[in-house]
Structure 1
Amino acid sequence: MGQHDDPEKAFTEFFTGPYRDVVQDLDEQYPDERSLRIDWHELDAWDGSVADEFLQKPARMRQFATNALNRLEEASVLGANVRIYNLPEKQIVRVGKYRTRQLGKLLSVRGKVVDMEGVTPYAEEAAFECPLCGTLTRMPQSYGDLMKPNECMGCEHSKPGFRFKREQSELVDLQKIVIIPPDSNLEEPPGSIAFLKNDLVDMVGPGDLVTINGIYETFTGQSESTLSTYIEALDLDIKERTEIDTYGASEIQEFVMDALTEQITTVDDFAVQRSDIVDAVTSEHGVRREEVEDQIDALIEANEIGAEGSKLFDL
């Protein structure tokens, strides 16, 4: 790697040297602010070999950077995310124009958000308990079906009906979005799936123009020779917001009340999940999730609706 042969040590020097003030700012704002953003060109000016390695092996290098940040004595930001932006021209790719040689590489993709799902829990590392001996096994996960151990490391039984243990697993917020080329004239333009995690969720809405700096990857467990791909977002830059949430507070509150009444009737229960109400209003009226969340809180504070845990009910 040239000047620095130990990647984690290199990032430690970077964070305590040229990025000392950036780290200090994060330390002062943590945990309200949970990410440290690295300008790739500033990293390149400091050590070109480290910067180039980040482009070629982003998952590995980001882990080294995260470890270095979390272990700094100068700051207490355990659990903070490392993000990278302002990539070189050669890494900028048009939506749908990726190549096999770019798999696993760090790319910069600009597109328009055309679809998005609600935020869900995602197991980055899932814990499984053996029902025979109680041994706990942890497995890193990828998007798709939950991957379970083939054998218990304790009693060595093969697939003894492992039980997923949520409390011992590493869970994060996850959101799936779909982007298309922002200037396409095609009736059905090519779309790309991107996954947003942690503090990147709920940052965009349909119609927004975004630049995603992320890793081009394939889904695991595929059954066909033509592989489906996605982008693991490491950083998100919103270029332009579409003015879709033009409703006032009272109108959004009315949408919430209508959705609450409808879903309570549908599920035949006194309460429904708050996330279901947010999803319903966002999907039907194009209001941003944070706007809906704010008005739900306002309705709860005004005693117009009640809340019990993650559920809402009409008063």
Structure 2
Amino acid sequence: MDNINKTKTSLAKFEEFFSTVYKDEVMEVLEKYPEERTLVVDYENLEMFDPDLADLLIEKPDEVIAASQKAIKNIDPLMKDPKLDIKFKNVSNCIDFVNADSKYIGKLISFEAKVMEAKEPKPILDIAVYECRGCMSLREIPQTINSSLEPSLCPECGGRSFRLLQDESEFLESQLLIVSSDDTSKSLKVLLLRDECSFDLYSMGQEVRITGILKSFSSNYGYEYFLECNLIEILNDSEDSEYDEYGNRNSPEYRTWQKVVIDSDRVCQCCGGSKHLEAHHIFSYQNNPSYRVNLENGIALCKWCHSKYHSYYGKDASPKSLIRFLKRFGRYDG
């Protein structure tokens, strides 16, 4: 009962907050909906408006964010029935990446880390539509991020057999990042949703600040952590800044080296793909400065294989690690 009362209170408070403090921002998004569906809220503004509501957001983010989304619908003067993504920046619950552990499960946290691997975006079920095999009636079942929910009983005929209608169901875009920190060997899976997903926005070594809800999922090895991202902010535009101390990757000579390596191989030497190719150093860029633009010291890898290689072997590339990588993941037969 206490949680129900808190949810009702959160809803009323958000309706007031959006109608007063964030009135202009809300109207700007609603006027552009559905092309624009993201509203970014400064946590400091929410804390000034109502400290208790801000604290509750940290402790019960799933319920509070859901209340904020419903509040937008309730006050929408345009009657668009919007499904907005409410994102929060400058969250006070900032922690060191290495400290993201069980005491934070279910809470909204923020930390800085580096991207180690960026998976390809893919769709996941948001609203599943099931058809009863007995009477053909339909049921819509909202899905959760880490589990699939199916109907157990048809309310029309009592049947227990259903089939998923993919064409009638609603999907949303998702993407998995693997992030880590220089201070630890620990890594964490980060789930991005909707407009945070991108084929080419994230790259290995990129520094990011991530705000999200720490959760767990069951695997073959017990329970593992993952972070359901609410907001991701890129702190450096590319991986170049990570390597400034070792040399200039923006020089004309380096750009020429990249182009020649990619044009020579034409496809990824691991998976054989031809899209999003990058030049990989056989002898590491970091430890072999005289080989950095040597045309014999490079092969083409696609963005995903390149990121996977460095997530396994770090920056210290070598011919031996490359051969091991290609034997394990690619088409290498030497």
Per the normalisation by structure 2, the TM-score is: 0.67
**In structure 2, distance between residues paired with 1:69 and 1:171:** 22
Given the superposition, is the C-alpha separation of residues 174 and 38 from structure 1 closer, same or farther in structure 2, using an over 3 Å criterion?
A: same
Task: Find out whether 1:19 has 2:22 as its counterpart.
Answer: yes
Q: Which residue, 282, 295, 311 being the options, matches 2:303?
A: 282
Q: Which residue of 2 aligns with 1:101?
A: 103
Q: Which residue of 1 aligns with 2:228?
A: 232
**In structure 2, distance between residues paired with 1:178 and 1:223:** 19
Q: Which residue of 2 aligns with 1:33?
A: 36
Residue by residue, what CA displacement relative to the aligned partner does 1:160-217 show, whole Å, maximum 9, x if unpaired?
A: 2x21112332311100001001x32x5xx11000100011111422221111110011
**In structure 1, distance between residues paired with 2:220 and 2:141:** 22
**In structure 1, distance between residues paired with 2:302 and 2:33:** 31
1:162-241 mapped onto 2 (5 Å cutoff): 162-181=162-181, 183-184=182-183, 189-202=185-198, 203-219=201-217, 222=219, 226-241=222-237
**In structure 1, distance between residues paired with 2:144 and 2:27:** 33
What SS does the aligned partner of 1:153 have?
coil
Given the superposition, is the C-alpha separation of residues 258 and 128 from structure 1 closer, same or farther in structure 2, using an over 3 Å criterion?
A: farther
1:67-216 mapped onto 2 (5 Å cutoff): 67-74=70-77, 78-88=82-92, 91-144=93-146, 146-158=148-160, 160=161, 162-181=162-181, 183-184=182-183, 189-202=185-198, 203-216=201-214
**In structure 2, distance between residues paired with 1:217 and 1:51:** 20
Q: 1:284 Cα shift?
A: 5.1
Residue by residue, what CA displacement relative to the aligned partner does 1:243-293 show, whole Å, maximum 9, x if unpaired?
A: 469769xx69x87x9459x99xx8xxxxx9xxx94698432567xxxxxxx
Identity of aligned residues (%): 22
Q: 1:72 Cα shift?
A: 2.7
Whether the 8 Å CA contact 1:109–1:212 is kept in 2: the answer is yes
Task: Find out whether 1:48 has 2:51 as its counterpart.
Answer: yes
**In structure 2, distance between residues paired with 1:3 and 1:19:** 22
**In structure 2, distance between residues paired with 1:27 and 1:145:** 31
Whether the 8 Å CA contact 2:122–2:174 is kept in 1: the answer is yes
What SS does the aligned partner of 1:178 have?
strand
RMSD: 3.5
Per the normalisation by structure 1, the TM-score is: 0.71
Aligned amino acid, residue 227 of structure 1? Y
Given the superposition, is the C-alpha separation of residues 97 and 285 from structure 1 closer, same or farther in structure 2, using an over 3 Å criterion?
A: closer
Given the superposition, is the C-alpha separation of residues 145 and 12 from structure 1 closer, same or farther in structure 2, using an over 3 Å criterion?
A: closer
Whether the 8 Å CA contact 1:95–1:179 is kept in 2: the answer is no
**In structure 2, distance between residues paired with 1:31 and 1:196:** 19
**In structure 1, distance between residues paired with 2:172 and 2:238:** 28
Q: 1:80 Cα shift?
A: 2.2
Q: Which residues of structure 1 form unaligned runs of 5+?
A: 267-271, 287-315
**In structure 1, distance between residues paired with 2:59 and 2:73:** 23
1:248-263 mapped onto 2 (5 Å cutoff): 258=266
Instruction: Report how many aligned residue pairs link the two structures.
Output: 262
Whether the 8 Å CA contact 2:135–2:157 is kept in 1: the answer is yes
Given the superposition, is the C-alpha separation of residues 153 and 277 from structure 1 closer, same or farther in structure 2, using an over 3 Å criterion?
A: farther
Which structure's CA Rg is the greater one? Answer: 2
What SS does the aligned partner of 2:129 have?
strand
Whether the 8 Å CA contact 1:96–1:192 is kept in 2: the answer is no
**In structure 2, distance between residues paired with 1:60 and 1:117:** 29
Given the superposition, is the C-alpha separation of residues 259 and 153 from structure 1 closer, same or farther in structure 2, using an over 3 Å criterion?
A: farther
Given the superposition, is the C-alpha separation of residues 277 and 4 from structure 1 closer, same or farther in structure 2, using an over 3 Å criterion?
A: closer
Q: 1:7 Cα shift?
A: 1.7
Whether the 8 Å CA contact 2:119–2:304 is kept in 1: the answer is no
Residue by residue, what CA displacement relative to the aligned partner does 1:19-76 show, whole Å, maximum 9, x if unpaired?
A: 1122233245544432111111110100111111111111111111111123333455
**In structure 1, distance between residues paired with 2:38 and 2:176:** 20
Aligned amino acid, residue 241 of structure 1? D
